[in-house]
Structure 1
Amino acid sequence: MSDRSTDGTEGLNENGMLGRVVSYIEAARRTPVSARARDAAFRCIIDLLGSAAAGVNQPGVRAVRSTALATMGTGGVPIWFSGASSTIIGAAWANSASASALDLDDGHRLARGHPGAAVIPAAFAVAGETGASLDEIINAIVIGYEVGVAIGAARTSYGNTGTWSAYAIVATAAALLLTPSDILAHALAIAGESAPNQLFASAPAPRVPAPEGSDVKEGIPWSVVTGLVALNLAEAGHTGPRNILDSARHYRFAEDLRLGADPHICKAYFKLYACCRHIHAPLDAMLQVIEQNAIDADTIDLMEVETTSGALRISNRTRPANIIDVQYSVPYCMALAALSGPHVLLPLMPDALGQENVMKLSEKVNLSLNMDFDARFPAETLARVSIIADGRRFVSEVTTPKGEASNPLSSDELEAKFRAATRMVLSTPRQEDVLKGISTARAGDMSALMTSLVSG
C-alpha cells in the first residue's frame, strides 16, 4: 500500500474531469446496474467470447500467449480455450489478443473503437483471481465501457482503441478491487499518459505509406497490460499527471456529460464480418444489390462505393499481403464476399489470400467520399454502392450495417454468429457448453461458464 493519502482529496481537483471520472467509478461500483445494462453486458460477453475463440490459434495470438507465459509466468487465471493459465496480467493480455485478432469484436460509434476486447478480458482475469461475484463482474464491465467510451469520444483527434482503452482497464479493475480514490486517480493518469500512441496507425489520410498489416493492429492487448500495470504502479506509490483530461488540446468533453446516465454499453455494435467496421456498410449495400437483382459476380465491370472519410483512411489494398491487410480493405472484402458469399468473412481464414479472381474484382472497386454521409459520421456509418454489370447500373439504398444499436442483432443472431465464428476451433459440444454457461450465468451462476473457458 502506498504511503500517500487515500481519502481522495489531496492534490486531486474533484471538479476536474479526472476527479469526475473517479467519482463516477466510486459511486457506480456500489450501485447495481440496470436490467438494460445487465442484458447489454451479457450480449457483449457472448460476442467477445466467440471472437476470442475464433482468434485463439492465430499466429500473432500464439506469440502473445507464449510471451505472456514466459514473461509474466503461470498462475491461476485461465487463458481461454488454450488449456494454459497465467497471472492476471498475462491472462488478460493473451485473452485480449485472441479477442481482437480477427476484428470480430464489438465496437462503439462514439469512441470509434472496440471497448469489449479490452474490458471483458480484464474483468474476467481480475475476477478469476479475487473471486468476485457475478454482479460485481457485470458492474465492472459496465463501468469499463462507460469510462473508455466517454474518454475515447472526447479525444480532439482520432486515436485507435489502444490510445484510450487503458483508461477503461483501470476503471474495470479498480471497480473489482475497490481501489481507493487517490490511487485510482493516479492509475488513470498513468494509464492515459503511458498508453500505446498508435501514431502511425492512427494518422489521418493520406498516410504515405499506409501502415503494413500487422498483429499490433490497434494496440488493444498492450493497452490492457498498460492499464493493469498502471494500477499496480499507483498502488506502489507511482504518480501520474492527474490533470491530463483537462487538456483542451487533447480532450473536449460534452458540457452536459453525465457518466452512467445512459450507459454506453447499451449502444455497442456487433459485427457479422471479420473486418474493420468501415467495410460493413459497403458490404451490406453490395450484398443487397446482388441479391435483389440476381447479379452474377463474374459479370461485374465496376463497383462504386460512396462512403465516409473513415473508410478512406484505412489501407484498402487490392492485393493484400496478409490477413490483417484483408481486414482493412474495403475493395478486397467486397470482392471476396461477392464471389464466395459473406460466410467467408465469418471468420476470415488464410485461404482468403492470394485469390487472383478476387484481386482482379477488387481492382474494379472505386471509393469516393460522400459529404452528406461524412457529416453524419461517427454517429452513423453509411454507404451506398452502385454496381455496373452487363451494361446495367444497379444502385443500393443508403445503408447502415446490421448490428448497430439502431439495427441490433437479436439474441438468436448473436448465438448464430458465435457458432459460425467458432466452428473451426470448437466442437459442437464445446460450443454448447459455452452457450449454456452464459445462459446459467444470466441466472446467477458463473461456474459453468468459467469451466467452459478453461480447456484447450
Structure 2
Amino acid sequence: MRRSALASIASYIVETRGSVISGQTRDAALRCLFDLIVAAAAGHEDRGPLAVRRAVGLMGQGEVPVWFSGVASSPLGAAWANSAAASAQDLDDGHRLARGHPGAVVIPTVIPIGQAQKASWEQMLTAIVIGYEVGITIAAARRSYGNTGTWGAYAAVAAAGALCGTSAAVLEHALAIAGETAPNQLFASAPPPRDPSPEGSDVKEGIPWSVVTGLTALRLAEAGHTGPRNILESVRHYDLPDPIRFGGDAHINHVYHKLYACCRHVHAPLDALLGLIADHDLADADAITVETTSGALRISNLARPSNLTDVQYSIPYCLSLAMVRGQDGLMHLRQDVLNDHAVETLAQRVSLVLNPSFDARFPQETLARVTVRSRGRDVVSPITAPRGEASDPLTWCDLRKKAKVVSESLGAPLLGKALDDLAVNLSANRLTGLSDLVGCNLDQMAVHP
C-alpha cells in the first residue's frame, strides 16, 4: 500500500529530531534565529502585538517569557504573542517557493515550547530546521496561492512535535487537524480581481493564529482527537512528490532575509530605485515606472495608505518614502510615515506595469526594473533582484546593521548592544545569551549605557 504523505512527514520528524544540525544548515538556522528576534523587537510596540498581549490571558497562565515584555504566559500564549510581534513589521524571513514566511511561525513556536519542555538550544535548533522543512515542503506543493497562515500550522505542529517527543501516529493526526482547521485567509489570499481589495489590518497573513491552531492541533491529537490523514492526497489542493524525500539540501538554506519592513514584492523595486538614487540626482522626479511581476500587482499598492499594513503592501508609497526619507526609514516603520504629503504626492506619480519576461521567472525570482523621469530625461535601472536572496545572502555584518537600525529607531541602545553581542555569539556558533535577551523588558532597554 502507498504510504500517505502525512505518514512520510511524521516519520521524518521522528527520525530527525534526535540529530544535531551542522554545516551550512546550522549557520542558516542561526541566521534565521537571530533575524527573527530582531523582527520581533521591531514589531513589539505595534498595535497588533499590543492587542495580543492584552488578550494573552485567554491562553492560560505560565512561566514562559513573552519576548521583550518582562511578563510570562503559558507556552501557547507566549508563542501567540511572540509570533504576533515577529510578523507585525514584515521584517521576518521568507522562502521563494513557499511564497510566505516560515520563521514567524516556527521560531516563536520552538522557543516557548522548548523552554517549557526544558529542551537544550541544540534540540531547539533541530526543531527549527524541521519546522521550516515541513512547512515549506507543504506550502510549495499547494496548487493555489495561500498566505502563510494557511500552511503555517503544519510547520508549528512539526516543530513542537519534534520537541515534545510526539509519536509518528499522533503526529499524523495533529498535522491533519492543523491543515484542516488553519486560518483560511479566503479574503486576503483570493486571486485577482478582488472587489474590494482587503483593507490593511493587523490580521495580515494570519501567522500568529496559525501558531495557535498548530499547537492546539498537537494537543488535541495527543488527547485522542483525529484528523483527515489523507488531506495532502487531495489533488485539488496539493501536488506533493511521490515519495516525499527529505534529507537533502534543507529548505532553511534557501530562505531570504529582509532589509525593509514591507512585503517582499516591494524589495526589488526598492533596491532598483536606491541604486538609481546612489548614482543620479533624482530630487525632481516627475514620474516613476516600475516593471514587475503579477505577484507584485496583486498587493494593494495604495498611494495614500491609512495604516502601516497598507504601507507594507504598497510599492508606490514605499518607493516614495525611500525618495523622501532614505532607506533606513524603511527598516522600521512607525506611525509618522503615514499622512506625509510629500510622500503621497510622489506616490501618485508611480506607475506599475507587468513585465511578461519577469513574470515568467516568478516565483523562483522576483525581478524589477525602475525608470525615473527627472528633468526631462529617463534614468533606467538594471534588472534587479532584491537583496538578501539565498543566492546572495546577507552577511552577519548586514544582519547586525539591521539590528542596529531597528534598535536606534526604537530608542533602545541597550537592546542594540545586546543584539550585537548575540550576533557575535551566534556567528561564532555559540548558543549563549538568547534566554536572557528575549526575557528582558524592552522599556528598560531604552536607558543609555
> Deviations 1:93-117 (Å, cap 9, x if unpaired)?
0000000001000000010000000
Q: Which whole-Å CA distance do the structure 2 matches of 1:293 and 1:423 have between them?
A: 28
Task: Report 1:90-239 matches (<5 A).
Answer: 90-239=77-226
- Read off the aligned partner of 1:361 and give its amino acid letter: L
Give the match for residue 265 of structure 1: 252
Cα deviation for residue 312 of structure 1 reads 0.2
Q: Which whole-Å CA distance do the structure 1 matches of 2:60 and 2:428 have between them?
A: 34
Say whether 1:248 aligns with 2:235.
yes
Task: Report 1:53-68 matches (<5 A).
Answer: 53-68=41-56
Task: Report 1:350-429 matches (<5 A).
Answer: 350-425=335-410, 427-429=412-414
**Where does structure 1 lack aligned partners over 5 or more consecutive residues?**
1-12
Cα deviation for residue 30 of structure 1 reads 2.4
Cα RMSD over matched residues? 1.5
Give the match for residue 12 of structure 2: 24
Q: Which whole-Å CA distance do the structure 1 matches of 2:22 and 2:143 have between them?
A: 31
Cα deviation for residue 16 of structure 1 reads 1.6
Structure 2 SS opposite 1:406: coil
Q: Which whole-Å CA distance do the structure 1 matches of 2:197 and 2:247 have between them?
A: 38
Cα deviation for residue 424 of structure 1 reads 3.3
**Contact 1:18/1:245 (CA < 8 Å) preserved in 2?**
yes
Of stretches 445-454 and 377-386 in structure 1, the one that deviates more from structure 2 is 445-454
Cα deviation for residue 435 of structure 1 reads 3.5
> Deviations 1:384-441 (Å, cap 9, x if unpaired)?
0111110001111000000001121111000110111232336323332233245446
Of stretches 435-444 and 254-263 in structure 1, the one that deviates more from structure 2 is 435-444
Residues 1:444 and 1:406: Cα distance change in structure 2 (over 3 Å): closer
Task: Report 1:30-49 matches (<5 A).
Answer: 30-49=18-37
Structure 1 SS opposite 2:366: coil
**Contact 2:407/2:413 (CA < 8 Å) preserved in 1?**
no
- Read off the aligned partner of 1:345 and give its amino acid letter: L
**Contact 2:170/2:222 (CA < 8 Å) preserved in 1?**
yes
Q: Which whole-Å CA distance do the structure 2 matches of 1:81 and 1:426 have between them?
A: 14
Number of aligned pairs? 441
Give the match for residue 348 of structure 1: 333
Q: Which whole-Å CA distance do the structure 2 matches of 1:96 and 1:327 have between them?
A: 18
Q: Which whole-Å CA distance do the structure 1 matches of 2:370 and 2:419 have between them?
A: 38
Q: Which whole-Å CA distance do the structure 1 matches of 2:112 and 2:36 have between them?
A: 14
Give the match for residue 6 of structure 1: none
Structure 2 SS opposite 1:208: coil
Residues 1:156 and 1:378: Cα distance change in structure 2 (over 3 Å): same
Structure 1 SS opposite 2:220: helix
> Deviations 1:77-102 (Å, cap 9, x if unpaired)?
10010111101100000000000001
Structure 2 SS opposite 1:230: helix
- Read off the aligned partner of 2:64 and give its amino acid letter: V
Structure 2 SS opposite 1:202: coil
- Read off the aligned partner of 1:339 and give its amino acid letter: V
Structure 1 SS opposite 2:130: helix
- Read off the aligned partner of 2:54 and give its amino acid letter: S
- Read off the aligned partner of 2:145 and give its amino acid letter: Y
Q: Which whole-Å CA distance do the structure 1 matches of 2:421 and 2:278 have between them?
A: 35
- Read off the aligned partner of 1:331 and give its amino acid letter: P
Residues 1:293 and 1:256: Cα distance change in structure 2 (over 3 Å): farther
Give the match for residue 287 of structure 2: 302
**Where does structure 2 lack aligned partners over 5 or more consecutive residues?**
442-449
Q: Which whole-Å CA distance do the structure 1 matches of 2:69 and 2:247 have between them?
A: 35
Give the match for residue 444 of structure 2: none
**Contact 1:434/1:449 (CA < 8 Å) preserved in 2?**
no
Give the match for residue 336 of structure 1: 321
* TM norm structure 1: 0.94
**Contact 2:142/2:239 (CA < 8 Å) preserved in 1?**
yes
- Read off the aligned partner of 1:261 and give its amino acid letter: G
Q: Which whole-Å CA distance do the structure 2 matches of 1:286 and 1:72 have between them?
A: 45
Residues 1:454 and 1:154: Cα distance change in structure 2 (over 3 Å): same
> Deviations 1:213-255 (Å, cap 9, x if unpaired)?
0000000000000000000000001000000001110001245
Structure 1 SS opposite 2:65: strand
Cα deviation for residue 444 of structure 1 reads 7.0
> Deviations 1:338-384 (Å, cap 9, x if unpaired)?
11111111101110000111111111111011111111111100000
Give the match for residue 445 of structure 2: none
Q: Which whole-Å CA distance do the structure 1 matches of 2:177 and 2:301 have between them?
A: 35
Give the match for residue 446 of structure 2: none
Structure 2 SS opposite 1:430: helix
Q: Which whole-Å CA distance do the structure 1 matches of 2:351 and 2:409 have between them?
A: 33
**Contact 1:60/1:215 (CA < 8 Å) preserved in 2?**
yes
Give the match for residue 3 of structure 1: none
Q: Which whole-Å CA distance do the structure 2 matches of 1:385 and 1:20 have between them?
A: 45
What is the identity percentage for the equivalent residue pairs of Structure 1 and Structure 2? 54
Of stretches 254-263 and 350-359 in structure 1, the one that deviates more from structure 2 is 254-263
- Read off the aligned partner of 2:262 and give its amino acid letter: C
Q: Which whole-Å CA distance do the structure 1 matches of 2:323 and 2:423 have between them?
A: 34
Structure 1 SS opposite 2:135: helix
Residues 1:439 and 1:130: Cα distance change in structure 2 (over 3 Å): farther
> Deviations 1:5-45 (Å, cap 9, x if unpaired)?
xxxxxxxx771211111121111112222321111011001
Give the match for residue 436 of structure 2: 451
**Contact 2:18/2:123 (CA < 8 Å) preserved in 1?**
no
